[in-house]
Chain A
Amino acid sequence: MNAQAPPSALVGTVLAFADDELVLGWRDSEWTGVAPFLEEDVAFSSIAQGEIGHARALYELVAGVLGGDADALAFDRAPEEYRCAPLVELPLVGDWAATIARHGLYETADAIRVAALKESDWPELAGLAAKMDREEAYHRMHARMWLEKLKGNERFEAAFTELWPYALGVLEPAQRGALAEVVGRDEVDAVERGAHADGFAALHEEMTMVRRSVPGATW
Chain B
Amino acid sequence: MLERMGDDEFRAYLQEGGQVEVGDPMPEDYRKALIKFIEMHGNSELMGVLPEREWILRAPTLQRKLALTAKVQDEVGHGQLIYRVVEDLGKPRDACFDDLIAGKTKFHNVFHYPTKTWGDVGVIAWLVDAAAIISQKALLKCSYAPYARIMKKICWEESFHILHGRDVVLAMMTGTDEQRELVQEALDRWWGPLMQFHGNRIPAEDDPMYQWRIKSQANEEARQQFLDGYVDQIWELGLTVPDPELRKDEDGVWHYTEPDWDELKWVVTGHGPATERRLGLRRASREETAWVRRAVLADAA
Contacts and interface: CB of A to CB of B under 8 A. Distances in A.
Interface of A: 26, 29-30, 32-39, 41-42, 45-46, 48-49, 52-53, 55-56, 59, 70-71, 74-75, 94-96, 149-150, 153, 155, 206-207, 209-211, 213-214, 217-219
B72 interface: yes
Contact of A218 (B46, B65, B171, B293): B171
Contacts of A52: 62, 65-66, 69
Given A36-B293, A219-B171, A214 B179 contact: yes
B40 to A, nearest CB: 17
A150 B291 CA distance: 11
A65 B118 CA distance: 32
Contacts of B176: 214, 217
Interface string B63-79: 11110011011001101
A218 B175 contact: yes
B163 interface: no
29 contacts: A26-B57, A33-B49, A33-B53, A37-B289, A37-B292, A37-B293, A38-B80, A38-B93, A39-B80, A41-B76, A42-B76, A42-B77, A45-B70, A46-B73, A49-B69, A49-B70, A52-B65, A52-B66, A56-B62, A70-B62, A71-B62, A95-B288, A96-B292, A211-B60, A214-B175, A214-B176, A217-B179, A219-B64, A219-B168
A96 B295 CA distance: 12
B123 to A, nearest CB: 15
Contacts, number: 122
B65 A34 contact: no
A86 B167 CA distance: 35
A206 B175 contact: no
Contacts of B178: 213-214, 217
Given A38-B76, A42-B76, A219-B60, A32 B49 contact: yes
Given A45-B73, A206-B57, A217-B178, 19 more contacts: A30-B57, A34-B282, A34-B285, A34-B289, A37-B296, A38-B77, A38-B79, A38-B80, A41-B73, A59-B62, A75-B61, A206-B58, A211-B61, A214-B175, A214-B176, A214-B179, A218-B174, A218-B175, A219-B168
A49 B49 CA distance: 16
Nearest to B285: A34
Contacts of A38: 76-77, 79-80, 83, 93
B134 interface: no
Contacts of B241: none
A32 B69 contact: yes
A194 B278 CA distance: 37
Interface in B161-175: 168, 171-172, 174-175
Nearest to B73: A45
B202 interface: no
- By Cβ-Cβ distance, the 4 closest A-B pairs, closest first, are A33-B49, A36-B292, A36-B289, A211-B60
Given A36-B296, A52-B62, A52-B66, A219 B118 contact: yes
A171 B73 CA distance: 31
Contacts of B301: none
A32 B66 contact: no
Given A38-B80, A155-B291, A32 B60 contact: no
Interface in B141-179: 168, 171-172, 174-176, 178-179
Nearest to B77: A42
B289 A96 contact: yes
Contacts of A150: 295
B57 A33 contact: no
A29 B175 contact: no
Contact of A217 (B72, B73, B175, B289): B175
Given A38-B83, A219-B118, A45 B72 contact: yes
Contact of B58 (A59, A153, A209): A209
Given A33-B53, A42-B73, A149-B296, A207 B289 contact: no
A37 B292 CA distance: 9
Nearest to B84: A38
Given A33-B50, A38-B83, A210 B76 contact: no
B56 interface: yes
B297 A37 contact: yes
Contacts of B57: 26, 29-30, 206-207
A210 to B, nearest CB: 4
A94 B66 CA distance: 22
